């Protein structure tokens, strides 16, 4: 960008209603002051396998087996492995999904598109020996779900978004539209799904269903969330671990007459300031025996309750801002007599689950399942690698390389400029340290910095410490920084100082820190008429002025955006400055946190950058399902260089935290219908980000 654009400083929200009970304390993904980039969120996606036909061999992740009670040998079934051993098929239509899910033989079914149920509320009757898994984040089931009937067994449902069968009635007793319902099924594993807004339950485990494991799911925006029981028989064995319950009213879960219910490392969050209020959290009913370990309850009303006939043994749980019943008593069982497991520290649970639940960009495989193994080039400052600089390794990549080249960079600070040219696709730059802070690529050019050859200044795009012009680029587990010192260079014209510039398609930024001040992260395309998609996840971005900007179709998902004071100690800035072309998607911030040590109400979420005064552009930023700190202005959008933000596309949807606000003419919110077309998968289209 050129010198900042006339520095002037700038769709209705819909909340379904409920009972006004306990009000919780908002919890960000992690407070900037507490985390300070110190607690890694983990690698969100590993490698993935794409399948194209029924004849394809099952990828490595199809061999994954369940943990917990779903792993136990019982009822003639030795663990839960789904369709392993059957054919692998990729489906993009309702007809194909139903065809393979209801077939008698085993299948691994890869859902690679958004599939709308017809009629709304349809539940596909899944048969035994099936794995149904989303292809990256693109597998979505809208308006219905799955039903597992009596005797159905050995079923895995993973990595899917199942959503939006809601019929406008909060306590809906007419529509039984569940995301996943089982009546008398056994050996079922429900893992890494995003389940929300259904007309009844998100998960119903009913009528003596048993040997079920529910792990690493996000369950949100629902009334009757997760019910277990509906039987007088005490036979159900179930493990529920590492699930994030957020903005759910009741059945979180409600467990009725379960022989063994093991709940651990779950996060139950009632978000302050929203209209969805919790009635209760974990409920042990009837003759249930429940073990509840190392779970985190935030703002929940009646966080743990039990009937007089039920048992709950609590160990190591944390309760913050909760109220009402918190009960334990009776004798239960020792889960380790059935299976092995490892507890995460309770204090780590909120951050761990906010980053790790729901569909992943990729499900792990080995390189061998993708074809030829990637070439690896090592970089180490001390000479222990093949190259001493990152750029030297990039230079060694052959032009028009046909397959993945991984540049493995050992821990250290690499003060250099790095450019990946357009004729070197499929490059991964990956830090090899234990933390993304261990490997740092940094430089300090600014837009006004003179070039050493005397040919002028670098300009904004030329100031980037790392510039990526090659498609299918990935950066993982490292820090990219521009440490230009504005205070020491006040005489210099042009303080825009880019840390990372992308001008390519299919760019995956996974587990990285990108930090600077003004214009930190430039997400562009190779040309005005070119598509450029960027998916950033499990990452951090820091800056102050327009520090996420450009014309790319970009998603920042499950990440932390940290606001930083200006060089003179003042608090003022803009998070985004999109320059989106008309009929393209711009910047989407989803499932993230915006925070930082700055003054209250000092930052805008964005403003429209009409680069070069181009009135044909239609800049877009959507911020949804994100926790906003008090630093965000109550009117979060503003005009720029004579262009009104109201003429472009700026909106929010179901944000939380002290910086969130109700809809109005100066704060448009998407309706539920509008938001259903502004999901992560809508931005990425036919691209499934696959970490390699």
Catalytic site positions: 519, 546
Query: Exposed (0-12), middle (13-18) or buried (19+): which is 392, by Cβ within 10 Å?
Result: middle
Q: Where are the alpha helices (DSSP H) in 113-156?
A: none
DSSP string, 293-326: ES-EEES-BS-EEE-TT-EEEEES-EEES-BS-B
Contacts of 604 (CB under 8 A, 6+ apart): 9, 10, 573, 574, 575, 632, 633, 636, 637, 638
3 state SS for 56-104: ECCCHHHHCCCCHHHHCEECCEECCCCCCCCEEEEECCHHHHHHHHCCC
Cα distance between the two ends of the chain: 31
CA atoms within a 13 Å half-sphere pointing along the CA-CB vector of 110: 27
**Spatial CB neighbours of 532, under 8 Å, sequence gap ≥ 6:** 502, 503, 504, 505, 507, 523, 524, 525, 526, 551, 552, 553
Question: Cα 214 to chain center, whole Å?
Answer: 18
E strand or H helix at 270, and its extent?
Answer: none
Best CA proximity match to 628, nearest among 609, 603, 646: 603
User: CA torsion sign, 302 to 316 to 225 to 125?
Assistant: negative
CA angle, 15 as apex, 14 and 17 as ends, to 5°?
140
Query: How many Å apart are CA 135 and CA 96, to the nearest integer?
Result: 15
Compute the distance between CA of residue 99 and CA of residue 91 in angstroms, rounded to an integer: 10
Taking the C-alpha atoms of residue 251 and residue 225, their distance in angstroms, rounded to an integer, is 5
616 Cβ contact list (under 8 Å, min separation 6)? 581, 582
- C-alpha 155: how far from its chain's center? 24
**For 265-380, where are the E strands, in sequence order?**
267-269, 282-285, 289-293, 296-298, 304-306, 311-315, 318-320, 375-379
CB burial of residue 232 (10 Å; 0-12, 13-18, 19+): exposed
Q: Is the peptide bond before 253 cis (omega within 30 degrees of 0)?
A: yes
- Please name every residue paired with 442 in a beta bridge, in sequence order, or none if there are none: 415, 481
Phi, psi of 689 (to 5 degrees): -60, 125
Q: Is the separation of the CB atoms in 476 and 470 below 8 Å?
A: no
CA distances to 248, 254, 599, 603 from 195, in Å: 11, 17, 36, 32
- Asked if 339 and 78 count as a contact pair (C-beta separation under 8 A), the reply is no
Contact status, residue 437 vs residue 479, Cβ threshold 8 Å: yes
In this structure, the dihedral spanned by the alpha carbons of residues 233, 237, 242 and 248, taken in order and rounded to 10 degrees, is -10
Q: How far apart are CA 609 and CA 549, in angstroms?
A: 8
How many Cα neighbours within 13 Å face the side chain of 482? 36
Cα–Cα distance for residue pair 68/189, rounded to 1 Å? 9
């Amino acid at each position: 960008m050129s010198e900042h654009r006339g520095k002037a400083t700038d769709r209705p929200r819909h909340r379904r209603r409920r009972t006004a009970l306990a009000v919780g304390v908002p919890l960000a993904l992690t407070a900037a002051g507490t985390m300070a980039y110190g607690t890694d969120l983990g690698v969100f996606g590993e490698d993935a396998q794409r399948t194209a036909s029924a004849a394809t061999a099952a990828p490595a992740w199809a061999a994954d087996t369940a943990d917990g009670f779903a792993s136990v040998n019982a009822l003639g079934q030795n663990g839960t492995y789904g369709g392993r051993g059957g054919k692998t098929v990729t489906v993009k239509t309702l007809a194909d999904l139903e065809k393979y899910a209801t077939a008698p033989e085993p299948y691994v079914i890869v859902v690679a598109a958004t599939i709308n149920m017809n009629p709304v509320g349809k539940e596909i009757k899944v048969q035994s020996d099936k794995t149904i898994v989303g292809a990256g984040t693109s597998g979505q089931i809208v308006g219905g779900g799955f039903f597992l009937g009596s005797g159905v067994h050995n079923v895995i449902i993973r990595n899917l978004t199942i959503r939006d069968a809601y019929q406008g009635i909060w306590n809906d007793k007419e529509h039984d539209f569940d995301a996943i319902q089982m009546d008398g099924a056994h050996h079922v594993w429900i893992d890494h799904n995003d389940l929300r807004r259904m007309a009844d339950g998100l998960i119903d485990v009913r009528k003596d269903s048993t040997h079920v494991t529910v792990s690493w799911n996000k369950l949100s925006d629902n009334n009757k969330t997760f019910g277990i029981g509906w039987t007088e028989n005490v036979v159900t064995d179930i493990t529920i671990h590492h699930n994030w319950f957020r903005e759910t009213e009741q059945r979180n879960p409600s467990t009725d007459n379960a022989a063994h219910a093991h709940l651990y490392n779950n996060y139950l969050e009632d978000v302050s300031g929203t209209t969805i209020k919790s009635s209760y959290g974990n409920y042990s009913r009837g003759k249930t025996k429940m073990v509840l370990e190392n779970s985190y309850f935030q703002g929940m009303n009646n966080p743990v309750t039990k009937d007089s006939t039920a048992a709950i043994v609590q160990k190591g749980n944390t309760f913050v801002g909760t109220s009402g019943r918190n009960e334990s008593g009776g004798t239960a069982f020792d889960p380790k007599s059935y299976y092995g497991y490892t507890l995460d520290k309770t204090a780590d649970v909120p951050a761990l689950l906010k980053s790790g639940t729901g569909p992943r960009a990729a499900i792990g495989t080995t390189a061998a399942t993708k074809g030829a193994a990637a070439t690896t080039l090592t970089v180490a400052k001390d000479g222990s690698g093949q190259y001493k600089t990152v750029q030297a390794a990039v230079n060694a990549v052959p032009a028009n390389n046909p397959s993945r080249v991984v540049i493995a960079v050992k821990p250290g600070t690499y003060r250099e400029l790095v450019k990946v040219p357009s004729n070197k696709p499929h490059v991964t730059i990956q830090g090899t340290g234990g933390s993304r802070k261990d490997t740092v690529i940094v430089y300090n050019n600014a837009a006004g910095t003179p070039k050493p050859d005397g040919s002028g200044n670098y300009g904004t795009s030329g100031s980037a410490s790392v510039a990526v012009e090659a498609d299918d680029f990935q950066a993982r587990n490292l820090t990219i920084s521009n440490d230009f010192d504005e205070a020491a260079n006040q005489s210099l014209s042009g303080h825009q100082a880019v840390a990372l510039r992308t001008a390519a398609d299919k760019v995956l930024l996974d587990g990285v820190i990108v930090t600077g001040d003004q214009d930190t992260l430039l997400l562009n395309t190779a040309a005005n008429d070119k598509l450029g998609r960027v998916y950033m996840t499990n990452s951090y971005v820091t800056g102050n002025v327009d520090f996420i900007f450009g014309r790319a179709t970009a998603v920042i998902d499950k990440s932390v955006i940290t606001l930083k004071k200006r060089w003179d100690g003042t608090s003022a800035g803009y998070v985004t400055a999109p320059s989106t072309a008309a009929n393209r998607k711009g910047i989407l911030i989803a499932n993230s946190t915006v925070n930082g040590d700055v003054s209250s109400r000092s930052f805008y979420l964005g403003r429209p950058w009409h680069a070069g005064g181009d009135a044909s552009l239609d800049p877009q930023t959507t911020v949804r399902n994100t926790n906003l700190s008090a630093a965000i202005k109550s009117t979060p959008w503003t005009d720029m260089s004579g262009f009104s933000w109201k003429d472009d596309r700026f909106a929010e949807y179901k944000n939380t935290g002290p910086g969130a606000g109700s809809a109005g003419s100066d704060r448009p919110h998407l309706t539920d219908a509008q938001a259903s077309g502004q999901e992560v998968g809508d931005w990425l289209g036919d691209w499934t980000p696959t970490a390699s």
